[in-house]
A and B are shown apart, each in its own frame.
Chain A
Amino acid sequence: MNKELEEQLQVLRGLGPWETTTDFSENLVDQLTEKTTVRWMAAASILAFLFSGFVLMASAKTNKEIVASQQKEVSKAYEVNTLNY
């Protein structure tokens, strides 16, 4: 059986290399540039996402502060008003 397999395998031996007409050096540099661009874009969008999250949180905090200070002003005005009466 071993000999038989070896004989059969002769069919697939010494056939020479598989050939291609594609020249990989042509579009490879473009692909590398494209890959780098995609990586930069991904990094930039992550930064943009983080920054917008930060802005959102900061604005929520500022909003709370504004409301608190407005309430304070209103209560002061109320106190002044009640004093007048």
Chain B
Amino acid sequence: MGERFVQELILGDELAFKALVKEHQSRVYHHAMQILRNREEAEDVCQETFIQVYESIKSFKGQSSLSTWIIRIAINKALEKLRKEKRRNQLREILPWWMPEESKSIDSIQMHPGIKLEDKETAAMLYKAIDSLNPNQRVAFTLIKLDEISYTEASEMMDLSIKAIESLVSRAKENIKKKLR
């Protein structure tokens, strides 16, 4: 997928766009699910991501790979969803009568199908602790500690410096430890 492919996308080639979606949809969905752990929301993120890719491909300068650029858009979309949820929860605390409580039980947390039965309890505890982090910490921690990608790649994906990512992960670890105590 080189420069010529990007040119085809810029020209609005429908087939090229379909090929791009097919190539990247699994990775985009994986990252959205890792962050949100909600099938519907992750699917929304995928669709919104590819729509934005189609609309703003002209602004792609090739400073990072096309794949990293797409994942960055997906991460930003997922972050937007997390921030919206956080704002909704804050509003719910102020005006409980306006927005009724939607308590998320441990059972409602969507688990990765690859988790072994004997590990489910630990996984649920960890997921709950990760969910309590602020959106940026949650994304940085997920990328570095769960997906085990490099700090350099994570900094490109989140559009932050390596130092900022290190700081986010370190604070996330502290917060998770506090939650697990």
Residues of A within 8 A of B (CB): 1-2, 5, 8-9, 11-13, 15-20, 22-25, 28-29, 31-32, 35
Given A12-B126, A15-B112, A15-B114: A32 in contact with B51 (beta carbons within 8 A): yes
Contacting residues, chain A, for B115 (C-beta < 8 A) = 11-12, 15
Query: In the complex, are the beta carbons of A23 and B25 less than 8 A apart?
Result: yes
Stretch at the interface among B26-34, B56-64, B96-104, B159-167: B26-34
Is the beta-carbon distance between A28 and B50 smaller than 8 angstroms? Answer: yes
User: What is the bound-complex CA distance between A25 and B116, given in angstroms?
Assistant: 32
**CB-based contact A25/B25 at 8 Å:** yes
Chain A, Cβ-Cβ closest to B146: A12
Are the C-beta atoms of A9 and B126 separated by less than 8 Å? yes
Known contacts A18-B30, A35-B51; A9 and B146 CB within 8 A of each other: yes
Contacts of B126 in A (CB 8 A): 8-9, 11-12
The answer to the question of B4 belonging to the interface, with a C-beta cut-off of 8 Å to chain A, is no
